[in-house]
Amino acid sequence: MDEHKHTQHAHTDHTLEAPKTSDPHAGHDHSGHHMPPPEPKQTASNGHEQHEKHMAHGSTGHADHHEQMVADYRKRFWIVLLLTIPVTVLSPMIMMLFGYHFEFPGANFVVFGLSTVIFFYGGKPFLEGAWEEWKNRSLGMMMLISLAIVSAYIYSSFTAFFIEGSDFYFELATLILIMLLGHWIEMKSQMGASKALEELIKLMPKVAHRLDAAGNIEEVSIEALVPGERILVKPGEKIPLDGKIYEGLSTVDESMLTGESVPVEKNPGMQAIGGSINGSGVLKLTVEKVGNETYLAQVINMVQAAQQQKSKSQGLADKAAGWLFYIAVTAGLLTFLYWIFAANLAFALERMVTVLVIACPHALGLAVPLVNAVSTSIAARNGLLIRNRTQFEEARKVDRIVFDKTGTLTEGNFGVTDILPAAGVSEKELLTLAYSAESQSEHPIAKGIVRKGEAEGVTLLPVTDYQNLTGQGLQVTVDGMQVAVVSPGTMDERGIAYDKETFASLAQQGKTVVFVLKEGSLQGMIANADIIRSSSQEVVAALKEQGIEAIMLTGDNSRAAQYVGDQLGLDQVFAEVLPAEKSKHIAALKSGNKKVAMVGDGVNDAPALAEADLGIAIGAGTDVAIETADVILVDSNPKDVLTIITLSKATYRKMVENLIWAVGYNVIAIPLAAGVLANQGFLITPAIGAAVMSISTIICAVNARLLKIN
């Protein structure tokens, strides 16, 4: 993020921008990068009620629903299979095929009774689905299936009691059996994506340490907690619910939730996310969000929405099924009219039923949903939350990707970039003094110097007499020596000479420079900057290889922005851009039919995220990101942008493969079912059609499961 709050620290503030005043530490609060959980979209009368509602629906309801559907199809399949066995044994076609004869008085009535049970019990899901499609005036998959099984059942019933002809009981039974098997396979495949939700909910602890008014600790279930109550989190424990810290200092591991690999330092006033792991300190929190309001619940809801949302391609598949319904009815009627004159009623009816059976677009219905479910699951495992399937699929067409700077292309944390000792002083000596002095401060600049000292393994000297020099820097006693870390303005005020040319060069790069003094004598200068992510260079290079422009759009100062742009080799850099102006830049970049993606933090970049063809939010955690972004990166890593593009291309490729197979199968099979090759002695029976259709369905399911990005 580029617009930051200014907070006072124990010693004076640091700034990312080159110093303009005597203050080397001018307000740059990086704690804001660790965003708070999303604002609640729903409320409940109390925490217990809402949490239970969420646990029932958000955590396990989605999975339970799938499990119930899987169990239902499984049960119907096995029962229909048992009933199909005697129907198959008594089928004239099977008798002729295997050369045996088995008949007894009333056999026709037995087959009729078994087939009736199969039709109403096994066909119930399809008949109910067809009724829903009829009521919604959206004829499609279920209507076609129902049309086929109703036609087969009615025709067979007539042949059993009223007209002469071969019955279709065997075909009816096997068709329903195969359809049940296909839907069972479909639901089992979709269960794979639902498992991601189950893994997410496992992150939540079951109990919490509640504090009463007197400060006594009571262990309670998290369902018993309501907003406003106070809880205590011991070292190493998971934080039970989202809340605000009011006492204690610690580091918190949020990697499982936000992808932030480095533990986040927490202090009073900061947000804590439920499910994150507390470090070595004791934290006291005021509960703010429970149930569906929590950060984790928002993540779960986004995954659910992504799995259930129908994409543009899915809409095309449904539309194709609708057209196929009318094609099937038309082809069936034409087939009947032709063969009733060219042959006889029985043959005409048989051909018509065969056409209707062949036209059932089960594979067409599976082609896109299964790919979507698998790609959503893969995305979740790779730290991507797909909020808008249609826009995600369009990622494969992106021409330009616009990045925010701070916290996106950069780490959002200060680090040492240059150590420039004075004459007669070594780099190690300079770093040792700065490291020892800054070890007493909690400021981002100080932490950057401390990290550098720790990385270099320099000795931490004893420090006493810490003094905060307001607007100037700090002063301490290091191993008996007076040491100060001050700003260039302070150097000018004190009349201490320094290499202004070198300083100007560093400032031109947007770096913050501090000066280290020992007993009033200059020991050297240390330059600090928001460190460029190690992965950013790789991302920009990879985008260029794919012919995609990499652009930076930031509210930061032009010097710091241009330095990052030069280091990464960006195609364009727009700096000092206000939030309201960012969307105008995006609109301009979209000119010429260019597809533009915007990668930002979801707060000040919200207008740009909404304007872009594909909005990508860095760091899940704000209501703005949830409302405006199409894809949310759990890990604030620009490298994940490459994963989005790769997965989008792979997903689209699988969809096309499945749609071609499913539609191509129907295009070839319907004419054959109508009997275009009947004079050559080639006819497709409903049973053969159903078997081939099952193979087509399984191929689509297996092909979807083969979707990979590595």
pLDDT at position 311, please?
47
Res. 165 pLDDT band, cuts 50 70 90: low
pLDDT(580) > 70: no
Spatial contact of 373 and 667, defined as CB atoms under 8 Å apart: no
Q: Are 145 and 360 a contacting pair, CB within 8 Å?
A: yes
User: Any idea which of 63-67, 246-250, 375-379, 598-602 has the lowest mean pLDDT?
Assistant: 63-67
Q: What is the mean pLDDT of residues 557-575?
A: 88
The residue with greater pLDDT, 628 or 341, is 341
- Report the pLDDT value the prediction gives residue 556, as an integer from 0 to 100: 75
Asked if the model's pLDDT at residue 594 lies above 60, the reply is yes
Instruction: Output the pLDDT for position 638.
Output: 81
Beta-bridge mates of residue 218: 210
Q: Which secondary structure element, helix H or strand E, spans residue 252, and what is its range?
A: strand 250-253
pLDDT for the residue 259 = 36
What six digits make up the tokens of 32? 């804001």
Residue partners of 377: CB distance under 8 A and separation at least 6: 192, 193, 195, 196
Encode pLDDT of 218-264 as tens digits. 999 988 999 999 999 999 899 998 999 999 988 887 755 543 434 67
pLDDT at 202: 63
Local structure of residue 636 (DSSP, 8 states):
-
pLDDT score for 361:
58
Pick the CATH number of 204-237+242-289 from 1.10.760.10, 3.40.605.10, 2.70.150.10, 3.40.1210.10: 2.70.150.10
User: Are the C-beta atoms of residues 273 and 37 closer than 8 Å to each other?
Assistant: yes
Report the alpha-carbon distance of residue 288 to residue 231 in Å, rounded: 11
CA–CA gap between residue 663 and residue 676 (Å, rounded): 19
**Across 22-26, 151-155, 426-430, 528-532, least confident range:** 22-26
Q: pLDDT confidence of 121, banded at 50, 70, 90?
A: very high
Residue 14 has pLDDT above 50, yes or no: no
Can you tell me the distance from the alpha carbon of 561 to that of 529, in angstroms, rounded to the nearest whole number? 11
Looking at residue 189, what is its pLDDT? 46
Taking the C-alpha atoms of residue 634 and residue 652, their distance in angstroms, rounded to an integer, is 23
DSSP 60-118: THHHHHHHHHHHHHHHHHHHHHHHHHHHHHT-HHHHHHHT-----TTHHHHHHHHHHHI
Pairing status of strand 549-553 against strand 400-403 = parallel
CA nearest neighbour of 498 among 526, 476, 471: 526
Q: Which pLDDT belongs to residue 302?
A: 53
pLDDT digits (tens, 9 = 90+) for 650-705: 998 998 888 888 777 778 888 988 888 888 888 776 556 656 666 777 888 888 88
pLDDT at 194: 44
The C-alpha atoms of residue 72 and residue 79 are separated, in whole angstroms, by 11
| Whether 89 contacts 114, CB under 8 Å | no
Q: Catalytic residue positions? A: 404
pLDDT at 390: 76
Listed in sequence order, the residues at least 6 apart from 674 whose beta carbon sits closer than 8 Å to its beta carbon are 331, 334, 335, 351, 354, 355
Which amino acid, one-letter code, is at 473?
Answer: G
SS3 238: strand
Q: How many C-beta atoms surround the C-beta of residue 481 within 10 A? A: 12
Least confident of 144-153, 179-188, 304-313: 304-313
468: left (phi over 0), alpha (psi -120 to 50) or beta: beta
Kindly report whether the global pTM for this prediction surpasses the value 0.85. Answer: no
Side chain identity, residue 546: Q
Show the CA angle centred on residue 373, arms to residues 662 and 617, nearest 5°.
Answer: 130
Cα gap 271→514, rounded to integer Å: 31
Sign of CA dihedral 228, 229, 230, 234: negative
Whether the per-residue pLDDT at 50 is higher than 60: the answer is no
Mean of all residue pLDDT scores within the chain: 78
CATH class in words for 413-531: alpha beta
Provide mean pLDDT across the span 437-454.
83
Residue 36 gets which letter from DSSP?
P
- Residue 555, helix vs strand vs coil: coil
Three-state DSSP class for 219? strand
The pLDDT of residue 64: 59
CB contact set of 85 (below 8 Å; sequence gap of 6+): none
Give the whole-angstrom CA distance, residue 113 versus residue 106: 11
Give me the pLDDT at residue 21, please. Answer: 36
Report the half-sphere exposure of 257 (CA within 13 A, side-chain side).
31
Summarize pLDDT for 519-536 with one digit per residue, the tens: 999 999 999 888 888 889
Cα 330 from chain centroid?
43
Question: CATH 3.40.1110.10 region(s) of the chain?
Answer: 413-531
Q: What are phi and psi of 464, to 5 degrees?
A: -140, 175
* Euclidean distance between CA atoms 633 and 643, whole angstroms: 10
Q: Looking at residue 346, what is its pLDDT?
A: 77
Q: What is the pLDDT of residue 291?
A: 80
Top-confidence residue, 505 or 686: 505
Q: Provide the sign of the torsion angle of the four alpha carbons 695, 699, 702, 705, taken in this order.
A: negative
Q: Which of 172-176, 195-199, 597-601 is the least confident region? A: 195-199
Structure-model confidence comparison of residues 43 and 512, the more confident one: 512
CATH 2.70.150.10: which residues of the chain?
A: 204-237+242-289
H runs (alpha helix) in 382-420: 389-393
pLDDT at 299 over 70: no
